[in-house]
Amino acid sequence: MKILVPVKRVVDYNVKVRVKSDGSGIETAGVKMSMNPFDEIAVEEAVRLKEKGVATEIVAVSMGVTQCSETIRTALAMGADRGILVESDVELQPLAVAKLLKVIADKEQPKLIILGKQAIDDDMSATGQMLAAFLGWPQGTFASKVLIEGDKITVTREVDGGLETVELSLPAIVTTDLRLNEPRYASLPNIMKARKKPIENLKPADLGVDPAPRLTVLKVNEPPKRQAGKKVASVAELVDKLRNEAKVI
């Protein structure tokens, strides 16, 4: 079984995000970038399925600027077999990404596509669902447990009310949640081996997709600074401030 794993290059989750001075977006110049954490979980799950003998090949896909190849190399070092880079200087929004992935899926014919439930830069949480709609495949989103038996996949989902278990027929889409697994660190030998694994370079035009953005960001603002706390001398003063200043009671 072939597994397709889309991975996104984002600002590292340890970096404090800064807004550009003109408010047009997030500052990325000179900022550490890494694989989206939810996509790391997706790669790890695919590798574990291969180690169990369920999967035979893992293909990592990334889209964006040339440096996205570094993100693919990370996936290859974790255990993916080969990569596909769709290179584009245009901002790729979820709809365009889903369309590109649909064409790649038609070409590669994977039985399973595993991707993060959302990217930590835009928090859209839409690509997996859009891709499932384009392909006409069943989907198990926000997965905290995945079990494959034959042509069936059982996905335990994290929902508002607790956990929900669904059974899907392959081929299918799975989007990963935080509690699905803990991604491994790539060992030095695997990092060296990843340099020799192939990465296919494509352009959106090669796939017949127009990646032009459909949404326009008007302005990005930092959240308001949190006000300092206040000390009160009595319970009566606390109640008064909660009622008349904070207006929460």
Asked if residue 169 lies in contact with residue 180, where contact means CB atoms within 8 angstroms, the answer is no
Q: Give the residue ranges of DSSP H helices in the chain.
A: 37-51, 68-78, 94-108, 127-135, 188-194, 235-244
% of residues, the chain, pLDDT over 90: 80
Q: For residue 28, is pLDDT > 90?
A: no
Confidence of residue 103 (pLDDT cuts 50, 70, 90): very high
Residue 168 CB neighbours (<10 A) = 19
DSSP class of residue 62 equals E
Q: Which two tokens stand for residue 111?
A: 């039985």
Residue 55 has pLDDT above 90, yes or no: yes
Of 99, 94, 154, the closest CA to residue 118 belongs to 94
Residues paired with 115 in a beta bridge: 175
Give me the residue label for tokens 């079984």. Answer: 1
How many separate helices (H) and strands (E) can be counted in the chain?
6, 11
Range with lowest mean pLDDT among 24-33, 95-104, 172-181: 24-33
Show me where the domains of the chain are located: 2-224
The third-level CATH classification (topology) of the domain covering 2-224 is: Rossmann fold (3.40.50)
Q: Which of 198, 215, 146, 201 is nearest to 174 (CA)?
A: 146
Question: What pLDDT, on a 0 to 100 scale, did the predictor assign at position 223?
Answer: 84
- Which pTM was predicted? 0.86
- For residue range 118-158, what is the model confidence (pLDDT) as tens digits? 999 989 999 999 999 999 999 999 999 999 999 999 999 99
Whether the per-residue pLDDT at 107 is higher than 90: the answer is: yes
Residue 105 pLDDT: 97
Cis peptide leading into 213, omega within 30 of 0?
no
24 compared with 10, residue with greater pLDDT: 10
Q: What is the pLDDT of residue 104?
A: 98
C-beta atoms surrounding 232 within 10 Å: 12
pLDDT of residue 200: 97
Check residue 224 and give its pLDDT. 84
* 19 token code pair: 């807004």
pLDDT (average), residues 51-67: 95
Cβ(162)–Cβ(195) below 8 Å: no
Tokens at 98, concatenated: 């889903």
| Tokens standing for residue 161 | 């009310």
Distance, CA of 209 to CA of 57 (rounded, Å): 26
Mean pLDDT of 149-168: 94
Kindly report the average pLDDT of the chain as a whole number. Answer: 94
pLDDT for 27: 87
